[in-house]
Amino acid sequence: MRFITLFIAVSLWLSANVPAQVVSDTLKMKEITVTSTRYRIPVIKQPSHTVLIDSVQLANTNGQSLGEALSRYSSIFVRSNAPGAVSLASFRGFGGEQTRVLWEGMPINHSMLGVLDLSLIRSGAFSSVEVSSGSGSSTYGSGISGSVSLASSINSGEFSAGQSIGSNSNYITFGNIGFEAGNWTLGLGGSIQENENDYRYYDRNTEQEENRRHATFDNDQFQLQAGWNKEGKRFQSKFWYLKSDHEIPENVFVGSGTSRQNDSASRWVSSFHFRTGNVQHGIKSYLAQTELDYFDPNRNIESISTGREWNNEWAATIYISSAVSLTNITSAHFTEVKTNNYTEKKYRNLLSEQLMAEISPTKALGIFPTIRVDHYSDFGAAVSPSLGINYQIIEDEIYFHSLVSRNFRAPTFNDLYWPEGGNEDLKPETAILTEAGIGITDQWKNVGDHNLAFFRMDISNGIKWNPGGGTFFRAQNYLSLLSYGVEWTAFKEFEVGTYKLSYSQSSSYTRSTIDEARFDGDAAVGDQLPYVPKWKYSGSFSVSRGDLRTSLYGNWVSERYSTEQNDIRDPEPSYFVLDASINYSKTIRKTQFDLSVQVNNILDEQYEVVRLYPQPLRNFLITLTIKHKNGN
Amino acid sequence: MKRPLLIASAILISLTTACDKSDSGSGTTLNGVFVLNEGNFGQANASITAYDPVTGEASQNQYENENGSPIGDILYSATEIGDRLYLVVNNSSKIEVVDKETLTKIATIRIANEASPRELVQVSETKAYVTNLYGNSVSVIDLVTNEEASIIAVGSNPEGIAVVGERAYVANSGFGNGNTLSIINTATDEVTGTITVGDNPVSILKQDNDQLWVVCAGAYGDFSDPDDDTPGMIYVLNGTTAEVVTSFEVGGHPGDLVLNDLDDVAYLMNGDVMSIDMNNFEVIDSAFIEKNFYALGFSTSDEGQFIWGADAKNFAQSGLAIQYDLNGVKVDSFPTGIIPGAFYFSAE
């Protein structure tokens, strides 16, 4: 406990007491443009709280899943059942179903399940990840508690290849190659991971250290990209293939389990941007096929499904004046699911119309009204209005931002059509979000970049599977939830002599409760929702000098409840996990050699994110990467 | 926290005899009620609630309090053999052997291949059978070594089991698609035959006269189509001759069945709790207690006979156990753990 306190105290002290020279390229929040809110403006000018995880940070979690990167660098709580097992993002007190995951601006949540398993995605496969807490359904449709937006970009004129070897027989081979020819760029990247995953852990069942069984995880993915750029016209086409075969470990009281899951996904997005007069056009088309085969020979269960999606979008932005732009987005999204669980193929046709404006009546003020109408073939229409503002209190230094929005989440195919309890009469979940906060750049007293956001979200018609007096559980609109809290992110880079230092931190307080009794004697009203920690803190601290860089990463999560009625069981203990890495980089002519040694959970913390799913004790990963750049 | 623990200790110390229907009656006092709470599937939050009928107080998590660790995943049933209780922990594929007075853990019997044990019955002084839902088998348990000694293949997805003489009857539910009982010769541990009963046989209760009552819950067919379901049935068998005495339709998809002390009225969970005339084999009142329960129990002692219903509420928070007299009038109630699924009564 003393170590946690020390770690957090040092990080916070650094945010306010840095007697050092400011490094010239530190204005991260001010300069970097993000797109996950659809407003292509810097983070600091956004109306809602947005965090960018860049390629350097993603490379630091190269051998791990996207879930680990989100845990480390954002306020998201990742509900991970353990390495290789299902891992879902939890934003502002809500679950994976309410969190939208985007790839190149296209939603990729599984159409049957409504979630995206973060454990299937290797963090190093992306060039950046944007985490937008306040992004609701007015931006990309169905979604009420934020979005995670993945971007892929392979550098042209560069070749890189690497190998990671880690504890528990974890092997990852990866590489990228990019070409540039005239107006064209081509890129190919991919990785192959084989992970025995038989890690050490402390078993609360046997009360001794054990090795995890039945948790092998094989994951292959590659991306192919092509781009063309000429005279303001830009074409891009990206293809991403992912295949994952893994065993599914059970909780320690169930045993080793016998279930397996094989996933594959082929996703292809193409876009063309051009300008006519004062109108900027963007046309985008997305095709996807996802396969999921879950089988448990012991229980004689096999669930096979194929999902197909075709999503088309046309966006036109007209610049009425230097102070006003209007964007109209029209989209048509077709989804088909075929599974042995349903009696027949199921379809969903979604037509959407979105109108958004960016109004700057003064240099200091940005106003961002949006309205989106989604019409679903299976349950009707949903309207999502939002209004955001951003006001510079002190020019380039302190900003106020605020957003009010009404959001919805569409029922998943399983909610609607699962034979034992699916409910075709479901309505979408709806949520009213209000948030307000302050952004501070490093230009204000060299304190670093900070963003503080207070939020409140009221969900009604929440969908939950409920026994409802029958033999089977049934999906019903019967939850009324309230969530409120605060998020704070900070980043600072500075120099002390010949040393470059940086720190980042992300912390949050979240109170999420069931707001109204669902039945007589409902004992869960007012209790914290399961697996929503009230407090979360993630911080990193790096020191580099010359070719050497060392980093420490700390992640503290407060107690969580495993049941909706909090007093029925003791809470799950809080945990603090400390990771460290050392990177050595050497360039010989045009070839750069990077050697990284990563030690995770160096304090050997015995912890579980989800009750009785133990996480690994101390483990390591060594990565060697070779990069070669063409040209000067 | 200390007060419930003291109450629980008092209850536990006073427990001496299980009060199942066959050995209860006058001259006994109901000392305690254990509610076996299944807990949520995959979350290993099963628990035991101890209820003191004298003080009317209940205390939770008795097994965990006594042994310092959770029971496991889905506590399904408990069987008393001698001074021990055999707690069948379904999704952990194990049987915890505990002292029936203190719940102190004595041994753990592991069931191989995660066969998913459901119900245990004593066969002899040294042997017990336990049905395995996914194993499509019955495990032979050596009560001396506390080990699984062998496996007997039976029909699909066996659940209930009862023993009469040298015959063990096993209900092959087939998850709704079965309609047979397997008969095992308990001397040779071999299946000697099958009896066809109604769809989805799930439980078997034995009367004092060795007559067996088999609850057939009815088939679900296509889950999305309630019209193709088959109705619930009760089959009555002569346990000595393995012959069907009679059968009658109760409709719906019935669950727990309990028999009263005189073997003249049975109570069946079937939407509401229905009462059944055991002599004329017909439903007396289809809504004897107008409430839907997840589990049903029946206790007999000098204080009277009582029907106990377990309300699992929304299956995600503490349930409620309700005690009724034989007029269907509520006597008392107390909170339980998550998904109360069975009762165990102790009387002396």
As a whole number, mean pLDDT of residues B74-83 equals: 96
The verdict on a CB contact (< 8 Å) between B116 and A299 is: yes
The verdict on a CB contact (< 8 Å) between B45 and A563 is: yes
At residue A631, the pLDDT reads 65
* 3-state DSSP assignment of residue B47: strand
* C-alpha to C-alpha distance for A212 and A246, rounded to whole angstroms: 14
At residue A392, the pLDDT reads 96
Tokens of B280: 């004329």
What is the overall mean pLDDT for chain B?
A: 90
Report CA A165 to chain centroid distance, whole Å: 25
A176 burial type by CB count under 10 A (0-12 exposed, 13-18 middle, 19+ buried): buried
Distances (CA, A) of A602 to A66, A427, A606: 21, 47, 11
At residue A32, the pLDDT reads 65
Nearest one of B243, B231, B334, B322 to B283, comparing CA atoms: B231
Tokens of B238: 């002569």
As a whole number, mean pLDDT of residues B7-24 equals: 36
A213 pLDDT above the threshold of 90? no
Tokens of B158: 């066996």
Residue with the bigger pLDDT between A170 and A12: it is A170
* 3-state DSSP assignment of residue B162: strand
B157 pLDDT above the threshold of 80? yes
Contacts of B45 in chain A (CB under 8 A): 562-563, 569, 611
Per the CB < 8 A criterion, the answer to whether B213 and B239 are in contact is: no
Please calculate the CA angle A412-A418-A420 and round it to the nearest 5 degrees: 140
* C-alpha to C-alpha distance for A90 and A4, rounded to whole angstroms: 23
- A260-280 confidence digits (pLDDT tens): 999 999 999 999 999 999 999
Please calculate the CA angle B273-B278-B281 and round it to the nearest 5 degrees: 90
At residue B22, the pLDDT reads 35
At residue A469, the pLDDT reads 47
Strand ordering across the sheet containing B282-289: B257-259, B265-270, B272-277, B282-289
Report CA A7 to chain centroid distance, whole Å: 25
A384 pLDDT above the threshold of 70? yes
Q: Which residue in this structure is represented by tokens 């309205």?
A: A371
* 3-state DSSP assignment of residue A248: coil
Distances (CA, A) of A268 to A69, A292, A306: 24, 18, 16
What is the overall mean pLDDT for chain A?
A: 89
Radius of gyration of chain A (CA): 24
At residue B2, the pLDDT reads 35
Portion of chain A with pLDDT greater than 90, in percent: 70
- A552-594 confidence digits (pLDDT tens): 999 999 999 999 999 988 899 999 999 999 999 999 988 999 9
As a whole number, mean pLDDT of residues B84-107 equals: 95
Q: What is the dihedral of CA A338, A341, A347, A350, to 10 degrees?
A: -110
* C-alpha to C-alpha distance for B106 and B129, rounded to whole angstroms: 19
A5 pLDDT above the threshold of 70? no
The verdict on a CB contact (< 8 Å) between A419 and B312 is: no
At residue A468, the pLDDT reads 54
A408 pLDDT above the threshold of 90? yes
Contacts of A250 in chain B (CB under 8 A): 42
At residue A467, the pLDDT reads 67
Nearest by CB to residue A298, choosing from B69, B114, B253, is B114
Radius of gyration of chain B (CA): 19
Phi/psi of residue A175, each to 5°?
-170, 160
- Least confident window among A197-211, A587-601, B252-266: A197-211
Phi/psi of residue A509, each to 5°?
-125, 130
A524 burial type by CB count under 10 A (0-12 exposed, 13-18 middle, 19+ buried): buried
B15 pLDDT above the threshold of 60? no
DSSP state for residue A568 in the 8-state scheme: G
As a whole number, mean pLDDT of residues A221-247 equals: 95
B53 pLDDT above the threshold of 50? yes
As a whole number, mean pLDDT of residues A238-249 equals: 94
Say which amino acid occupies A362: T
Q: Which residues pair with B96 in a beta bridge?
A: B87, B108
Q: Which pLDDT band, with edges at 50, 70 and 90, does B198 fall under?
A: very high
A317 pLDDT above the threshold of 60? yes
Tokens of B333: 């109630």
Q: What's the gap in Å between the CA of A253 and the closest CA on chain B?
A: 5
As a whole number, mean pLDDT of residues A444-463 equals: 94
* C-alpha to C-alpha distance for A277 and A261, rounded to whole angstroms: 51
Nearest by CB to residue A253, choosing from B73, B115, B320, is B73
A465 pLDDT above the threshold of 90? no
* C-alpha to C-alpha distance for A90 and A67, rounded to whole angstroms: 10
The verdict on a CB contact (< 8 Å) between A563 and B91 is: no
Contacts of A343 in chain B (CB under 8 A): 222, 224
* C-alpha to C-alpha distance for A561 and A584, rounded to whole angstroms: 42
Residue with the bigger pLDDT between A523 and B228: it is A523
Nearest by CB to residue B44, choosing from A256, A524, A612, is A612
At residue B213, the pLDDT reads 97
**Pairing outcome for strands B243-249 and B167-172:** unpaired
* C-alpha to C-alpha distance for A305 and A291, rounded to whole angstroms: 6
Which are the contacts of A125, defined by CB distance < 8 A and separation ≥ 6? A152, A189, A191, A221, A223
Say which amino acid occupies A309: E
As a whole number, mean pLDDT of residues A369-378 equals: 96
At residue B27, the pLDDT reads 62
* 3-state DSSP assignment of residue A264: strand
Q: Which residues pair with A317 in a beta bridge?
A: A280, A327
At residue A596, the pLDDT reads 95
At residue B29, the pLDDT reads 79
Say which amino acid occupies A253: F
Where on the phi/psi map is residue A565: left (φ > 0), alpha (ψ -120 to 50), or beta?
Answer: beta
Per the CB < 8 A criterion, the answer to whether A489 and A17 are in contact is: no
- A14-56 confidence digits (pLDDT tens): 444 443 333 333 335 445 667 778 888 888 889 998 888 988 8
As a whole number, mean pLDDT of residues A409-414 equals: 94
Per the CB < 8 A criterion, the answer to whether A550 and A569 are in contact is: no
Kindly identify which residue of chain B lies nearest to residue A251, measuring between CA atoms. B42
The verdict on a CB contact (< 8 Å) between B318 and A562 is: no
A632 pLDDT above the threshold of 60? no
* C-alpha to C-alpha distance for A630 and A482, rounded to whole angstroms: 54
Which chain B residues touch A if contact means CB-CB below 8 Å? 40, 42-45, 60-61, 69-70, 72-73, 89, 91-93, 113-116, 134, 222-224, 253, 292, 312-318, 320, 337-338
* C-alpha to C-alpha distance for B50 and B308, rounded to whole angstroms: 14
Contacts of A613 in chain B (CB under 8 A): none
- Least confident window among A38-42, A194-198, A350-354, A608-612: A38-42
A–B interface: beta-carbon pairs under 8 A: 93
Q: Which domains does chain A have, with CATH numbers?
A: 2-629 (2.40.170.20)
The verdict on a CB contact (< 8 Å) between B317 and A564 is: yes
Q: What is the dihedral of CA B176, B177, B178, B179, to 10 degrees?
A: 90
Contacts of B312 in chain A (CB under 8 A): 467
As a whole number, mean pLDDT of residues B175-195 equals: 97
At residue B23, the pLDDT reads 37
Q: Which pLDDT band, with edges at 50, 70 and 90, does A297 fall under?
A: confident
Tell me how crowded residue A257 is: count the other CB atoms within 10 A of its CB: 19
As a whole number, mean pLDDT of residues A106-133 equals: 90
In DSSP notation, B77-127 reads EEEEETTEEEEEEGGGTEEEEEETTT--EEEEEEPGGG--EEEEEEEETTE
Q: What's the gap in Å between the CA of B163 and the closest CA on chain A?
A: 27
As a whole number, mean pLDDT of residues A239-251 equals: 93
B317 pLDDT above the threshold of 90? yes
